[in-house]
Structure 1
Amino acid sequence: MQVFFKQLMFCYLLLKSCTILYAQDSEFLSGKVIDEKTDEPVIFATVRVKGKAKGVITNMDGSFKIPSFFKKDGDTLLISSMGYVSTLIALSDVVYDKVNIILDIR
């Protein structure tokens, strides 16, 4: 009986940990900044929330990740990089938790 209880508890904890990991993934809005003409990632582009001192910089893949609570507040992202036209994206228009942003060369 005690062995059965331990196995049952192990299975419960294993399933519970998978649920927790899945829930953490949706706490962020992720995306990728891409060059319009070459379809190459734009590295070190600034992605910040307009009107707030919050933001991130894209990595070597052009990817970024920001907390999803900005989406709930209805904020706007300002994406900028040297040599490109700055772009505004209303987070209320973003349907999924992933977004690709295409920057145009000046």
Structure 2
Amino acid sequence: MLGDLKEKFERASAAYANEHAIVRDPDWYILKLQEELGELTQAWNKASGRGRKAGTPIDELRRSLADETADLLGHVLLFAHKNDIDLAAAIERKWKFRPDL
């Protein structure tokens, strides 16, 4: 199932890159991962009271946290896809369970 998810993210990312003339060279994948981690960190800082959030409703803070987590997951999967990484096998090897995703 991770393979299916990787393929879906790849199709969405490729379409977005094509629409916006983005060149997804090998470095792009790791740089986007870093960018998305930064955005998740920023969302966490706001949600946990460590960043500016004056007047931001809690549901908006939680939605931002969820959205940035989804972006990070997507870019992890894109990185794995681009680099032919078998995430299911790596999870089983490193975490000692089979992912049912």
Provide the TM-score with structure 2 as the length reference.
Answer: 0.26
Pick the structure with more helix per residue: 2
Provide the TM-score with structure 1 as the length reference.
Answer: 0.25
Of structures 1 and 2, the one with the larger relative CO (CA 8 A, separation 6+) is 2
